[in-house]
């Protein structure tokens, strides 16, 4: 499944946020085969379409799709040299799909700041430098070998060496690997194999004081982070980790009232999830029947057989066609039968590119 690693300096609110995530945790019954480690939290991706479908199809249960958060503690100044938890965190962070970088944007004289004062831009720089140094080490381990092979005329090595050289140059200039333009499938493959940390998409989670949560971008610290994120092509999601930990304790009704009181449409965690989806270019398709109404995650651009494969590999192997209706058309029609009558249910073949909110039945040979 999809995973997001939470990083940030000590005392910025990571644990507070992560605890809120684990307490808001997805219903364990939906994930029977996933062993939950202490630094892993799985949450449901909220989807207002599911209860509507469940009602229409008389489904016995709702199964949302989920997202995994991994708490990556231990990044401090010098981490890339093995200080703090050093290499242990690097291992975890290499495996995630995206990075949520928590930045302290709240003042509180009772909470010590590692460098003595609140300064989000310098905090970001400290963490990013460690990640860049870790990536440089990865590159340097392959650099000489690829240079030799490239000189000897090995074609793949020439592609690899070309990319490694550009990556090295960017990293040495203090820029992340994601700032380097990738040319062609071969380079894309080399890049994937490198598992570079700074190649991953990033969102900055600006942790603001409770009183600023309704209008966070008015906080100068948050505005600074936003400016940096805009330059990098990253996103900023302001939250209050304190409020999130309170929300995690409430039931649905209390939570809705509390959010309305704060003037918020959704919780910070839901916003983090939504931005994570966006960052990773993900969409959901839906299935519905008497057993369950369910959402499934795919990358934008996925074709019907591969989407079927997310449900079961047999369905991809034996794919015949997909019966597809968009959620909006289905709801407008009022029922599957009515949608069919209105000509809104399409039969799609193996080249069909799935759309967000497609309600699908796959036909396949077993």
Of the listed pieces 12-20, 24-32, 60-68, 116-124, which binds ligand GDP according to CB under 6 A?
Answer: 12-20
58 in a labelled binding site? no
Separation between Cα atoms, residue 237 and residue 231, nearest integer Å:
15
Residue 205 vs 280, nearer CB to ligand GDP: 205
Contact between 13 and ligand GDP by CB under 6 A: the answer reads yes
Of the listed pieces 40-48, 173-181, 226-234, 238-246, which binds ligand GDP according to CB under 6 A?
Answer: 238-246
Contact between 15 and ligand GDP by CB under 6 A: the answer reads yes
Separation between Cα atoms, residue 237 and residue 206, nearest integer Å:
6
Nearest distance from C-beta of residue 208 to ligand GDP, angstroms: 7
215 in a labelled binding site? no
The single residue among 2, 3, 16, 31 that binds ligand GDP, judged by CB under 6 A, is 16
The single residue among 136, 197, 241, 248 that binds ligand GDP, judged by CB under 6 A, is 241
Contact between 111 and ligand GDP by CB under 6 A: the answer reads yes
Nearest distance from C-beta of residue 242 to ligand GDP, angstroms: 4
Give the torsion sign (CA, 333, 336, 337, 341). Answer: positive
The single residue among 56, 133, 149, 209 that binds ligand GDP, judged by CB under 6 A, is 209
The single residue among 89, 106, 204, 221 that binds ligand GDP, judged by CB under 6 A, is 106
> Angle at Cα 358 formed by Cα 353 and Cα 362, nearest 5°?
75
Q: Judged by CB under 6 A, how many residues of this single chain contact ligand GDP? A: 16
Residue 14 vs 275, nearer CB to ligand GDP: 14
CB of 295 closer than 8 Å to CB of 284: yes
Cβ neighbours of residue 248 closer than 8 Å, sequence gap 6 or more = 19, 20, 21, 23, 24
Cβ neighbours of residue 197 closer than 8 Å, sequence gap 6 or more = 90, 93, 94, 99, 131, 134, 135, 177
Nearest distance from C-beta of residue 341 to ligand GDP, angstroms: 53
Nearest to 229 by CA among 264, 275, 274: 275
Tokens of 105: 């944007």
CB of 102 closer than 8 Å to CB of 4: no
13 in a labelled binding site? yes
Residue 10 vs 162, nearer CB to ligand GDP: 10
The single residue among 80, 207, 287, 326 that binds ligand GDP, judged by CB under 6 A, is 207
Tokens of 145: 């070998």
12 in a labelled binding site? yes
Tokens of 228: 């940096």
CB of 248 closer than 8 Å to CB of 268: no
> Tokens 């109404």 sit at which residue?
293
Separation between Cα atoms, residue 207 and residue 223, nearest integer Å:
12
Give the helix ranges, DSSP H, for the chain. Answer: 14-23, 49-57, 87-94, 120-151, 155-172, 184-194, 220-232, 241-247, 252-262, 268-279, 304-311, 313-317, 327-333, 336-341
Of the listed pieces 3-11, 227-235, 273-281, 283-291, which binds ligand GDP according to CB under 6 A?
Answer: 3-11
Half-sphere exposure of 11 (CA within 13 A, CB side): 17
Residue 164 vs 205, nearer CB to ligand GDP: 205
Contact between 108 and ligand GDP by CB under 6 A: the answer reads yes
The single residue among 59, 66, 146, 240 that binds ligand GDP, judged by CB under 6 A, is 240
Nearest distance from C-beta of residue 268 to ligand GDP, angstroms: 10
Nearest distance from C-beta of residue 102 to ligand GDP, angstroms: 6
Residue positions forming the annotated binding site? 11-16
Binding site for ligand GDP (CB under 6 A): 8, 10-16, 106, 108, 111, 207, 209, 240-242
What are the binding residues for ATP?
11-16
């Amino acid at each position: 499944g999809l995973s997001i690693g939470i990083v940030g300096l000590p005392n910025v609110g990571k644990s507070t946020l992560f605890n809120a995530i684990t307490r808001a945790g997805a219903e364990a019954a939906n994930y029977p085969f996933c062993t939950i480690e202490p630094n892993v939290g799985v949450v449901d991706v909220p989807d207002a379409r599911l209860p509507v479908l469940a009602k229409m199809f008389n489904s016995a249960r709702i199964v949302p799709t989920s997202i995994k958060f991994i708490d990556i503690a231990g990044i401090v100044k010098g981490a890339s040299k093995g200080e703090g938890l050093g290499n242990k965190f690097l291992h975890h962070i290499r495996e995630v799909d995206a990075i949520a970088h928590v930045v302290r944007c709240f003042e509180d004289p009772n909470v010590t700041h590692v460098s003595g004062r609140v300064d989000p831009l310098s905090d970001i720089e400290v963490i990013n430098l460690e990640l860049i140094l870790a990536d440089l080490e990865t590159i340097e381990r392959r650099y000489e070998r690829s240079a030799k092979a490239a000189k000897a005329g090995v074609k793949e090595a020439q592609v690899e060496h070309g990319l490694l050289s550009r990556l090295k140059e960017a990293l040495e200039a203090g820029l992340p690997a994601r700032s380097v333009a990738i040319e062609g499938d071969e380079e894309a493959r080399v890049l994937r194999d490198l598992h570079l940390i700074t190649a991953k998409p990033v969102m900055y989670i600006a942790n603001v004081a409770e009183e600023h949560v309704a209008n966070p971008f008015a906080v100068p610290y948050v505005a600074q982070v936003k400016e940096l994120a805009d330059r990098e092509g990253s996103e900023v999601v302001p939250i209050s980790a304190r409020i999130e930990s309170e929300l995690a304790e409430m039931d649905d009704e209390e939570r809705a009232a509390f959010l309305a009181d704060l003037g918020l449409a959704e919780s910070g965690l839901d916003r983090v999830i939504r931005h994570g989806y966006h960052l990773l270019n993900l969409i959901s398709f839906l299935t519905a029947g008497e057993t369950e109404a369910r959402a499934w995650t795919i990358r934008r651009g996925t074709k019907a057989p591969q989407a079927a494969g997310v449900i079961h590999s047999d369905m991809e192997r034996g794919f015949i066609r997909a019966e597809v209706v968009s959620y909006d058309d289905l709801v407008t029609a009022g029922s599957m039968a009515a949608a069919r009558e209105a000509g809104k249910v399409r039969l799609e073949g193996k080249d069909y590119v799935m759309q967000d909110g497609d309600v699908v039945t796959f036909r396949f040979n077993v």
